[in-house]
Chain A
Amino acid sequence: MTSTKAHVPAARPSAVHAPAIAVLIVAGGGVALALAALAAAGLQSGGAFIAAFDGVMGRAVRFTLWQAALSTVLSVVPALLVARALHAHPAFPGRGLLLRLFALPLALPALIAALGLLALLGRNGLLADGLTALTGARWPGIYGLEGILIAHVFFNLPLAARFFLVALEAVPANQWRNARQLGLPPLALFRLVEWPALRAAMPGVALMVFLLCATSFTLVLILGGGPQATTIEVAVYQALRFDFDPARAAALALLQLAAAITLGVLVARVPMPVTPFGATRHTRARPSMGETLMHATALGLAAVLVAAPVLAVLLRGATAPLRTLLADPAVINAALTSLAVALSAALLAVGAAVALLSARTPMIMMLAAAGGGGVLFAASPVVLGAGWFLALRPLVDPFEAAPFIVVFANALLALPFALRLLAPGWRASQLRHDRLAASLGLAGWRRLTIVEGRALARPLVAALMLAGLLSLGDLGVIALFGSDAVQTLPALLHARLGSYRTDDAAGLAFLLTLGCLVLLWLADRFSDGALR
């Protein structure tokens, strides 16, 4: 570009594009490869791609959208109240534990969570007798849409609350001081200070929850009650399983991805708020008694929602032969495998997020924002797995590459979380440090380690932790074909359950849940240490 203004030195930030472009090519290419391989296999085998768009698919699409929309509303609206309560009370006993607990559902395999919820609310759950007495009719359990919704709220309310809390913490301290000296009543405080921050975070959080619910699989199958509760994701799996109809799977997957990209682009157009850098000390007014009561109710209900099923899992597992399990080499191997998968996927996801955030062309920023909104969730593990296995077949033995496929797919699915956690602070740090870094000649890796790496240590650790937990349990990628090379704890749990060994399975669920809590605690300790 030739221009009269030839020299614009400081205006051009020290952006690094190559890694970001590489990430986009690998991530986008990975998804495209999977879809292309499925479509090609489908066309080859004479499967009719177009015929896939039939009534069954229409029903699946409608049910998917309906349950995902309901789940999103039921998760996000209460999450606003919970986040407000958490923010208004920055130092009550048990707050740290509650926040850690809120990260736990992410790591719990859906099967464990479903059994935990049913242990409480099932037909034979702990609360069934009470509910029977209360409703006057035999408690039917939570099978059907209500079960799906309750489970989705269990998974997504705490997640949304954590993201909203971050948004509230990013409100500048002077705004809170202003509100305090003006004596704003609670409603005005909400309208003038809290709501604008929450509203800015809303599209991204809502889209993420929506897509997570839309692509939910195990929960829908176990709690759905029957085939009337068939989502697109379930349809993809079933198209591939008995029918091995890649064309139909590709058509469904493309439909899902197209919908997600449309939503993602719409959300990406909503400007992402650049939050002031560095969380300030708490300056919100002390809430009144009435407000405190309301907050305590919100927090209490949320805590019960998350803790009760987890406790049910722990109680059920506490009577299992834990000592035998801990000495079992298969269990130890599975635990190590899970850790290795989680750690590798987390490093990869956070690395990719950092690369995307370090580039500053509008196109990459928009794609990163769309990714942060969770568009990648639409590329379901089943589709990725099936597509990659088909695509890799002529090149390498896909089953020898299975560990890498698992790690890569998990990293891809964790990337949206990492982006969402890192983006606000990252953008703010860029705005604040660009000129200084440019004048000091700090760029690329050196800038990363000296500036953002230190200033954003806490969100970086949080992102690693979240991505890791997310990857701990996931096996969807190879579920269709299986590979005994990647025997993770959840896979082992499923295998034991499949051999009548329900006690072992309960014990493994206990260990997995406890292990996640310990990891969360360690990560918190470590991120605090990194700040000092």
Chain B
Amino acid sequence: MPGSRFVIATVLSLAASITHAAAQGVLTIYTYESFTAEWGPGPAVEQAFEAQCGGCDLRFVSVADGVALLNRVRIEGEATKADIVLGLDTNLTTEAAATGLFARHDQDVSKVTVPGGWTDRTFLPFDHGWFAVVYDTQAMANPPRSLKELVEGDPDQKIVIQDPRSSTPGLGLLLWVRHVYGNDAADAWRKLSRRVLTVTPGWSEAYGLFTQGEAPMVLSYTTSPAYHMIAEGTERYQAAAFAEGHYQQIEVAAQTVAGKRNPLAAQFLAFMLTPAFQDHIAEKNWMLPAAATSAPLNPVFDRLVKPETSLLFSPDEVAANRARWIEEWLGAFGR
């Protein structure tokens, strides 16, 4: 039957499309989907690295997001095919390190330009950004100017946020509120919950509801407006600058224990902090570079919110308190 043969062939070719080779000259990088998408930085990064490594083959394997990335490495354990895992963030690095699957790097961290500096010897930043409340200028004339105004503002002006148990930005907001309010965080959440239209499992659903006009505000990044200005030519969506500062997200990469034996891994980590990699971050990953670029960014980026204060808990603090803080968040929402 031609039908069934087609099915079998398709299934087999699907299976075959993820053959990993540990052979020399191949570098396997696990990352998240939007990094390797045709409009993401992946294709350009691959081309640039392969041009300078002398005939090597860079292969991306992509999963949904940073958390899925960690889970995938966890499940594969020491048998992982990954030489490098690219796309975790600092909220995950303590747990990632605890798996014992990641190896230290020997890179010069002075090249890293993320605010607050960088000292971690295992994980290396490749980009960063700040969480921000993005609002629709057509629906909201007076956006909140501080986290306090967001928390105490008109409950009729809604915001869509993400669940901290399933989403990185969701966790980011949880930590942001905690950082600003400390032990009064639960109270703040109780107030804020009146303004929350709904809590989505991930960023995409929340942003989808926001652009559909369901709420005038969404939790996203300071860089989100850059996408709308550059790709869509509209100034409609803007980020609100908060007086208390913005919580930071730093996305990192690391080589695995197995990857450390592959010389290409270290070579890639070094490459990651050069303009050949960093030039593709701003307008393809819609985040901010973590090291020098060859030319100044598109002027649009100068118009984005630039937080004067970066808020960030250390990875260890997050790992130690996350469960308790989420419990507290649940209680505040439990009503």
| A touches B in complex, CB < 8 A | yes
Residue of A whose beta carbon sits closest to that of B156: A138
Total contacts A-B at CB 8 Å: 184
B-contact bits for A333-352, CB 8 A (1 contact / 0 none): 00011001001100100000
Residue of A whose beta carbon sits closest to that of B231: A500
B335:A500 contact, CB within 8 angstroms? no
Q: Which among B44-52, B57-65, B111-119, B272-280 touches the partner chain? A: B57-65
* Chain B: interface size category: 35 or more
Whether B198 is near chain A, meaning CB under 8 Å from some CB there, is: yes
A221:B163 contact, CB within 8 angstroms? yes
Whether B68 is near chain A, meaning CB under 8 Å from some CB there, is: yes
- Count chain A CB atoms within 10 A of each CB in B36, B75, B213 and give the residue with the most: B75
Q: Which among A117-125, A181-189, A426-434 touches the partner chain? A: A117-125
CA A344 to CA B72, docked complex, whole Å? 26
Given contacts A227-B334, A228-B334, contact A243 B63 (CB under 8 A): no
Minimum C-beta distance from A178 to chain B (A): 46
B212:A485 contact, CB within 8 angstroms? no
B214:A497 contact, CB within 8 angstroms? no
Q: Which residues of B contact A47 (CB under 8 A)?
A: none
CA A486 to CA B64, docked complex, whole Å? 12
Q: Which residues of B contact A124 (CB under 8 A)?
A: 212-214
Minimum C-beta distance from B46 to chain A (A): 14
Q: Which among A4-12, A74-82, A373-381, A399-407 touches the partner chain? A: A399-407
A222:B205 contact, CB within 8 angstroms? yes
Given contacts A226-B196, A404-B15, contact A481 B201 (CB under 8 A): no
B75:A498 contact, CB within 8 angstroms? no
B214:A484 contact, CB within 8 angstroms? no
B-contact bits for A483-523, CB 8 A (1 contact / 0 none): 11110000000110111111001000000000000000000
CA A412 to CA B68, docked complex, whole Å? 24
A497:B204 contact, CB within 8 angstroms? yes
Q: Which among B251-259, B289-297, B322-330 touches the partner chain? A: B322-330
Main secondary structure, interface of B, reads helix
Whether A390 is near chain B, meaning CB under 8 Å from some CB there, is: yes
Residue of A whose beta carbon sits closest to that of B228: A500
B329:A123 contact, CB within 8 angstroms? no
Given contacts A124-B213, A242-B166, A243-B323, contact A226 B199 (CB under 8 A): yes
Whether B187 is near chain A, meaning CB under 8 Å from some CB there, is: no
Q: Which residues of B contact A257 (CB under 8 A)?
A: none
A241:B330 contact, CB within 8 angstroms? no
One of B65, B71, B74, B333 near A227 (C-beta < 8 A): B333
Whether B76 is near chain A, meaning CB under 8 Å from some CB there, is: yes
Q: Which residues of A contact B63 (CB under 8 A)?
A: 481-484
Nearest 10 interchain pairs by C-beta = A482-B63, A124-B213, A340-B10, A498-B204, A238-B165, A497-B204, A221-B201, A143-B198, A403-B14, A481-B72
Q: Given contact pairs A227-B330, A340-B10, A498-B202, enumerate 7 new A-B contacts (beta carbons under 8 Å).
A: A111-B205, A122-B213, A124-B212, A242-B165, A242-B166, A403-B15, A502-B207
Can you list 12 A-B pairs, Cβ within 8 angstroms, ordered by A?
Answer: A118-B209, A123-B158, A123-B197, A226-B199, A330-B38, A344-B7, A400-B19, A401-B15, A404-B15, A480-B71, A500-B231, A502-B208
